[in-house]
Amino acid sequence: MPSKEDVQVQALLHQIEMGPLKLWVLRAAFFAAVAGLAALYLILNFRGLDSETAMDQAQVGRQIAAGAGYSTLYIRPMAMWQFINGRGSLPSGFFPDTYNFPLNPAINAALLRPVKRWWPMEPSDVVYFADRVVAAGGMLMFLAAVFVAFFLVREIFDRKIAWLTTSLVLLTDMMWRFSVSGLPQNAVLLLFTASLLFIHRALVARESGRTGPMLLLLSAAALFLGFAALAHPVVAWIFAGFLVFTAVWFRPRSVSALLVFFVFLLVVSPWLVRNYLVCGNPLGLGIFAILDGTTGSESAFMRNLQPDMSAFGAVRAKLRGGLTGQFESLFTFLGFNVAAAAFFFALLHVFRRKETNMLRWCVMLMWIGAAAGMALFAPQGAVSANQLHMLFVPVFAAYGLAFLLVLWKRMEIRYEPARNAFLGAICAVTALPMAVNLLTAPAQKVNWPPYVPPFINAVCQWMKPGEVICSDMPWATAWYGGRVSLLLPSTVEQFISLHDYKTLGGPINGLYLTPVSGNRPFLSQIARGEYAAWGNYILRRPELDRFYSGFPLKEKIDLPIGGECIFYSDMDRWTTRENL
């Protein structure tokens, strides 16, 4: 006869397998898996921020947290041109940032303020502590967005599809890499997903004839999209798709469309007014990113004190290449998520609920708007500053998965293990990039080339507070070194002019060149391209430059790793200090 303890164990196992405890065990396993993935990406696989935009917005956030207002240590020559042309002179005191939109830097400021005591880097800090803080904040916003997406999909379809969609999003490697990137997409994803939730509820209210709640919900959606645009201005193109859908589908049309337009404008207009008052252009310096890929790179324009505005005439030609490039890499931009890619086939299917059918057309219009915006402000990879296809992965995956399940049901295969194997195959294909990236991640602890944070910080510590350092990666010297950092001007003459006239409040005391300029094709970019004026300095042959006699930085030192970085200075700043 079984003992009392055996009976209790069997009863517990029965509850786990068949009873109410089964659901809680599955949920606990799910959240444990999510926590494990978060730890892998944030702790074990994280090597610090690795993009210009992330570091730039992080240092602006730190300036805000330090009480310096919305200012920047990263100074682009073109920003100086904009201030002089728009306001007649450079600003005194802290240099206002007009390149970035404010929401992500403000979020970074809120994250960084409580850890102010850890802002200074230690020589032993391979990964900057503030990098982890910024990345952790991004990951929390990503997980919050997934949480909101669960409720959105549950309202559109049902609980099972919501759980499956959530799982597919969490198995998408690209989404996790965005979460720790420090880029504004994490905030935008949360706000965009919340806006879709309100749009769906507005559609439900429309179908039930409740005009008042419908208008209120549309206003809420426009509000969230407005805040999303304050994180990333290309969201304005997504809003344009939503505005078109509102004007076509919701009635009264004029009232609905004007309402969402004015709510959106109410949110973004204070920042546009601020930019106009500061630099004379409501869109700030960021609008000139549209010139990237016309007659040169964005960096080439930003480095110039006398930019060529005729390049705006080539923007139209850029549009075609921007669109075809996106379509060629669309599966990559969707993170190789099979269900998300199936969204476009789901447009051919008629779902039972009218609001479910209509929401997908709203999403489609918003995605078309995003694609148009990205054609002008092109993404530079699957995880990059202007890559907004990732915003659509959760809702695309929901519709694509629902469509694939409809196709499976029509096959009339009533064998449950076969259905589970079908879903498992979708999850496995989606998770394959994650498995490959986690298993083959490089052993190095930093994002080299070109970033080695402790070395960047050490070079910046050779500079005294208030001195200006010039570099081909000033976003990194501003973030890791906390020094006023000038982007390498287009020509040596411009550099000497800025130095001699002390345009930035003093001379330029150091020049830090890295693989950002050194690891470029020799003929096309160093000898004849955008870095041609600096070729001899990049190649460590300044004595051959015809301007060398007037060049103010006479001292130089080769730096680790492998001598791929070099520092030019107005005096010997390193012999009395420990070597790097």
pLDDT in tens, 136-165: 999 999 999 999 999 999 999 999 999 999
Amino acid in the structure at residue 142: F
- pLDDT range class, residue 13, cuts 50, 70, 90: very low
Q: Can you give 137-188 as a three-state secondary structure string?
A: HHHHHHHHHHHHHHHHHHHHCCHHHHHHHHHHHHCCHHHHHHHCCCCCHHHH
**What share of residues in the chain are helix, strand, coil (percent, to 5)?**
65, 5, 30
Rounded to whole angstroms, what are the CA distances from 261 to 200, 243, 300, 351? Answer: 18, 7, 36, 30
Among residues 57, 66, 64, the alpha carbon closest in space to that of 100 is found at 57
- The tokens for 371 are 């694609």
Alpha helix (H) residue ranges in 383-442: 393-410, 416-439
Q: Concatenated DSSP letters for 341-368?
A: HTHHHHTTS--SSHHHHHHHHHHHHHHH
Average pLDDT over all residues of the chain: 91
| Per-residue pLDDT at 115 exceeds 80 | yes
Q: Tokens at residue 132, please?
A: 């982890």
Q: Report the alpha-carbon distance of residue 220 to residue 195 in Å, rounded.
A: 7
Average pLDDT over residues 418-445: 90
Q: Provide the pLDDT confidence category of residue 3 given band limits of 50, 70 and 90.
A: low
pLDDT band at 12 (very low <50, low <70, confident <90, very high): very low
Mean pLDDT of 448-473: 94
Give, as one character, the DSSP assignment of residue 312.
G
Mean pLDDT along residues 93-99: 95
